[in-house]
Amino acid sequence: MFQDRGVIKWTSMMLPEHVRELKRLKEEYEKDTIPTLDPQTLEEWNLTLKSAQAKGLAVLVTYVKEDRKQSTIGVVRRFDRNHLYLSSGSLRFDSILHIENEG
């Protein structure tokens, strides 16, 4: 019975330069960039953080670190114009993509 090897059969015909370029393009495509946030989003985050801080609830924060999207969960200790301080660490607001209540 014939078993198809899929992509493997084609890689032997590719030049090393092509393989490197394809890897570079894939890495570039997978990079996450920080979008410009509108005032409405910032106000929603502010309300979410104030509410979570007052009630002692955890929040889920998605942020970009070294061009990769990451998430952390923590209780809000405090926040100001530039930083968010959670029980799990601190983050700069210019790296945050999304904030939501955990639960």
Q: Mind listing the pLDDT tens digit of every residue in the chain (103 residues)?
A: 667 766 666 666 778 888 899 888 888 887 777 778 889 999 999 999 999 999 999 999 999 988 888 999 999 999 998 999 999 999 998 899 999 998 6
Quote the pTM value.
0.68
Rounded distance between C-alpha atoms, residue 73 and residue 57, angstroms:
10
pLDDT tens string 69-98:
899 999 999 999 899 999 999 999 889 999
**Residue-level length of the chain:** 103
Q: Contact at 8 Å (CB) between 89 and 74?
A: yes
Distances in Å between the alpha carbon of 38 and those of 16, 35, 89? Answer: 44, 9, 25
Host H or E run for residue 83: strand 83-86
Domain 39-101 has CATH 2.60.40.1250: no
